Amino acid sequence: MPNSHGPQQGTRHKLRNDAREGGTTPPQQTTEQFEDGDSVHLALDPSVQEGRFHPRFNGKTGTVVDKQGQAYKVEIKDGRVEKTVIASPAHLERQEEPRPTLLLPASNGYTARRDSGLISWSHASRSAVQPCEYSQESVAM
């Protein structure tokens, strides 16, 4: 049997919904609005055919540059080359903002840093990372 050379070549797994994500896309996702400068993930939605980008860029993260019709221009980095991909909102996922890192006050030569449920501390001689449960009130600033 000859090899396929079509536009969806090699997309057997990229264009397949997981069992929990089966069915059609909710309408909210296809009408989501993005601003210039928003960071988005390129994620092909197999249930929506319009506004797809080349499957090679599936899973990349880029920045919204402009709007073109109902689609968005997203600038991504492919190796060392910057490329512009045009995709509809159904194939874009907004990137969540990272939680800020909080530096705790130093005492007795120790420095501490709190980041997403972990407190890491270091001293001139050793360091460690420990999981912790904390609230804003429990950490003195």
Whether residues 90 and 36 share a domain: the answer is yes
Whether residue 15 is contained in a domain is answered as no
Whether residues 72 and 45 share a domain: the answer is yes
Tell me which of 100 and 82 has the higher pLDDT. 82
What distance in Å separates the CA atoms of residue 86 and residue 67, rounded to the nearest whole number? 9
Q: Is the pTM of this model over 0.75?
A: no
Q: Which of 117, 8, 90 is nearest to 54 (CA)?
A: 8
Whether residues 38 and 77 share a domain: the answer is yes
What distance in Å separates the CA atoms of residue 121 and residue 133, rounded to the nearest whole number? 15
Whether the predicted pLDDT of 32 surpasses 60: yes
> What one-character-per-residue DSSP string does 32-84 give?
----TT-EEEE---TT--TT---GGGTT-EEEEEEEETTEEEEEEEETTEEEE
Whether residues 111 and 54 share a domain: the answer is no
Whether residue 122 is contained in a domain is answered as yes
Whether residues 102 and 82 share a domain: the answer is no
Whether residues 80 and 107 share a domain: the answer is no
Whether residues 47 and 103 share a domain: the answer is no
Whether residue 4 is contained in a domain is answered as no
Whether the predicted pLDDT of 125 surpasses 80: no
Whether residues 70 and 38 share a domain: the answer is yes
What distance in Å separates the CA atoms of residue 14 and residue 17, rounded to the nearest whole number? 8
Whether residue 49 is contained in a domain is answered as yes
Judge contact between 92 and 32, C-beta under 8 A: yes
For residue 27, report the phi and psi dihedrals to the nearest 5 degrees: -65, -25
pLDDT one-digit tens code per residue, 47-75: 888 999 999 999 999 999 999 999 999 99
Whether residue 112 is contained in a domain is answered as yes
Residue 141's domain spans which residues?
98-141
pLDDT > 70 in the chain, percent:
69
Q: For residue 29, what is the domain's CATH number?
A: 2.30.30.70
Whether residues 30 and 83 share a domain: the answer is yes
Letter string b/e over residues 77-86, b meaning 16 or more CB atoms within 10 A of that residue's CB: eeeeeeeebe
What distance in Å separates the CA atoms of residue 99 and residue 95, rounded to the nearest whole number? 12
Whether residue 40 is contained in a domain is answered as yes
pLDDT of residue 69: 95
